């Protein structure tokens, strides 16, 4: 009985560790939060949106994609 209980304890803690490792591997941490504006005809238009990214170029790409999804005209996005 003692061996069976020990085996069950090891198996249950192993599956928990695998779940935690899987979760840790899929969790993404971004270095910066950027404030991004929509530009139309060279002028900022509308309000800003917040984007999390590792670089300014990545933030501008994400912001442009999100602004296109939200609708309305957008020539490019500029972040700071």
**C-beta separation of 77 from 60 below 8 A:** yes
Residue 26, in any domain of the structure: no
User: Under a CB-based contact definition with an 8 Å cutoff, are residues 15 and 9 in contact?
Assistant: no
In a domain, 22, yes or no: no
Answer yes or no: is pLDDT of 1 > 80: no
Share of the chain above pLDDT 90, in %: 60
7 lies in a domain? Answer: no
Question: What does the CA dihedral 50, 52, 56, 59 come to, rounded to 10 degrees?
Answer: -70
Handedness of CA 9, 15, 20, 21 (dihedral sign): positive
Residue 11 falls inside a structural domain:
no
Band of pLDDT at residue 15, cut at 50, 70 and 90? very low
**Could you give phi then psi for residue 57, rounded to 5 degrees?**
-65, -40
Examine the pLDDT at 6 and tell me if it is beyond 60: no
- Asked whether residue 67 is assigned to any structural domain, the reply reads yes
The total of structural domains in the chain comes to 1
Q: Which domain holds residue 55?
A: 32-79
**pLDDT surpasses 70 at 45:** yes
């Amino acid at each position: 009985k003692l061996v069976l209980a020990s085996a069950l304890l090891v198996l249950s803690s192993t599956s928990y560790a695998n779940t935690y490792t899987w979760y840790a591997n899929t969790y993404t941490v971004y270095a910066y939060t950027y404030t991004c504006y929509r530009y139309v005809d060279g002028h900022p238009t509308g309000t800003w949106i917040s984007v999390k990214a590792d670089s300014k170029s990545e933030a501008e790409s994400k912001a442009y994609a999100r602004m296109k999804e939200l609708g309305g005209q957008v020539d490019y996005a500029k972040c700071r």
